[in-house]
A and B are shown apart, each in its own frame.
Chain A
């Protein structure tokens, strides 16, 4: 884990495909995005991390941004998004859907459940790199995040 400043909070990457995880990390690195990246390999793990319900008595993390794949084992991405929006602690958390599909029903459901962005992963890595660069610039630099939530009781 790299050292981080208070303003460089972590990114939660919800992604079950290790290739995609590696490529995303590479793209972030290539774009000099230094934030810590926590990876959840399925929806259930993502929810445990966010709400501190993990088995090993872990506490809830408070990422600055969630990059959410849709097609996930156990609990799918849309369900994860629904629970994030349903919970008072994560209601305002920026969530960017980052997935392969651009099926209309995914778009409609994603935005319907309160996704902040919907980005399709391009096959061309050059385009992917560019997409991640803009994403990082926007959400981690330009965008004013909502005020940090009060520590969980």
Chain B
């Protein structure tokens, strides 16, 4: 660490303790003033505290006062005082010493000794000893140089002050040992005052020089603080004791000296051993502490090095990369070898570099202590990423800039997430705003927090009007208590009767009109609070439609019941007269045959066949109505087996016919078995009937595909029909052939169509006259 503060920005020198220079300066002033007082009042012990010829000359006393004042002022620096005053005082004192010394060198008396109290000085006599004059000069020069900050000046100050100390110490020792040889005629109080002033000078810059060595917290400082006083005091005291013993005649010079030496060796060796031991211990502690610190640093380095999501690296004061962690490599793509030593502007896009971004960032960080921004940065491959950058200056404990710490985070993903979130919010907001249904949110008190445009349209309130109002404003008076109770119960116990379900309720518009609504209520938690979202649909129209539908259903039911009663009556009562017609005609033919001619017989036969045809018609009609009246029982139906059975029956009924059946196997459908039987009976019966005039009749039952669905068919090679009349085919009582050619009621295909429709299917035919016909049907 350099002795001088760095540049003009260093910490103020006066921040250091000023107690020592101040106390030293003050003590020197007191000693000087005491001597002057002694001269003034003739008190000898104040001018010369020990017996002997040496006294403090009044001029010396004055100079001592000046030096002490200079030290004191240097330490205190009162604001009202001009900066040059202490130097002036020091210069005066130094001049006194210089003048007297010059007199000694050139052999004249400059009259300095007699400046004050000339009579008493002459009487004593007293003069400034050369020794004293030299010390005054040294100390004056030291104090004159002290404010100068250059290293050379400071070294000079130290040397001058130390030299003065040695001179003063010599005098003090001489006085203590009672030898003129060393006192140099410098009075003891003078010597002490000089020591004080020298100490004050040395301590006015405690951060440098001798004082710094003493104040240092290092082992060296400890050693100096212990050894120097010991080295000074122990020989001094032992020498003095030896001298006293010698003078008292306890031993001769050789013995005294030997004793002195032995004592010094023992005491100093003991002292050195003690100091070394404690130093050793301190050093061991220091080593341990350093080890711990290194370990901590190592851990910290590993920690930073292993961080992958953050680029953490150092820049030197000029912005060159000094360190590089794994996260930096991960995010920016450079290896440490590639990037350490390069300028960090490599991370900026060219336009940011051109605009002076990197330099501005460092400047801002250095001046404000922190620089942060979110902006684009470049990776090694030139691609950009959205970065969060923090730059922090790093300074030593005296404020000198050591470099910058830079932490960079890749926010691209976060930014993308935020954008997606924004888009998603926008989507949901649009959904809520454009929805036809009312979407209403409420807090746990049931107060409205959101009211979408659909709600405004349905209820007639604006969001502004109902925001914060209880939901009860949207319902008729009679429902409000139930609502409040339900809400309280749900919030307290979580027991839901409406929440999570869709219910039909009654709402009330702003103008007071009530309307039916469908409510889907959901609850959710926001922190500790329960909140609700209701989706409400005005079902006025649906209700009306449902009512109409219900009415139709009731009408249909009553119509069906009527039809049923009608059919029951027909089935019993309409056939009885036919039986009479037929029966009694037969009786006439049998019992009165002899009275009937051929024409009479013929007429009776016509009555009989008409009655039987009528009976058949009635049966067919009843079948047709039964098809619609019976409940369907849907299950698997094997059409192939059904068709086989019907074919067998047809052959049995008319064994004379030559009809070839080709029935595809395993045609299984989901349908009502009874009704499918009726369908096949009709279709196969028709095919049987209309192939009646073919010598080789052929009837086929199979399946094909129509519009992707299976279409079952019954095909014959019979009479066929003209497709022009195909639309009449399935109407009741519609016949395309005369009864003379083919008998039939014209109800069979109507029945087939009705059954197929009841199954959700379709039936149609393809035919040509004399080319046969094919009837297709599908089932849902």
Which A residues have a C-beta under 8 Å from some C-beta of B?
17, 19-20, 23, 26, 70-71, 99-105, 121-126, 128
Contacts and interface: CB of A to CB of B under 8 A. Distances in A.
B572 A23 contact: no
Given A123-B578, A123-B611, A70 B572 contact: yes
A126 B579 contact: no
A100 B576 contact: yes
A100 B573 contact: yes
Which among B568, B571, B611 has the highest number of chain A CB atoms within 10 Å? Answer: B571
The 7 A-B pairs with the shortest beta carbon distances in the complex, nearest first, are A123-B615, A19-B580, A125-B586, A23-B583, A125-B583, A101-B571, A71-B572
Contacts of B577: 19
B576 A103 contact: no
A128 B568 CA distance: 21
Given A19-B584, A123-B612, A124-B612, A103 B579 contact: no
Contact of B575 (A23, A100, A126): A100
B contact face: mostly helix, strand, loop, or mixed: helix
27 contacts: A19-B580, A19-B583, A19-B584, A20-B576, A23-B579, A23-B583, A100-B571, A100-B573, A100-B579, A101-B571, A103-B568, A105-B568, A121-B579, A122-B579, A123-B575, A123-B578, A123-B582, A123-B612, A123-B614, A123-B615, A124-B582, A125-B579, A125-B582, A125-B586, A125-B587, A125-B608, A128-B583
Q: What is the size category of the interface that chain B forms with chain A? A: 20 to 34
A104 B630 CA distance: 10
A71 to B, nearest CB: 4
Given A123-B578, A123-B611, A124-B612, A100 B583 contact: no
Interface string B601-619: 0000000100110110000
Nearest to B616: A123
Given A123-B611, A126-B586, A102 B571 contact: yes
B571 A19 contact: no
B582 A100 contact: no
Nearest to B587: A26
Given A123-B611, A123-B615, A26 B583 contact: yes
A88 to B, nearest CB: 31
Contact of B572 (A101, A104, A124): A101
Contacts of B611: 123
B587 A103 contact: no
B580 A100 contact: no
Given A19-B576, A19-B583, A125-B583, 19 more contacts: A17-B576, A19-B579, A19-B580, A19-B584, A23-B584, A71-B572, A100-B579, A101-B568, A101-B572, A102-B571, A122-B579, A123-B579, A123-B582, A123-B615, A124-B615, A125-B579, A125-B585, A125-B608, A128-B579
A44 B382 CA distance: 111
A23 B580 CA distance: 8
Nearest to A99: B572
Contacts of B585: 125
Contacts of B626: 104
Contacts of A70: 572
Interface in B558-591: 567-568, 571-573, 575-580, 582-587
Contacts of B608: 124-125
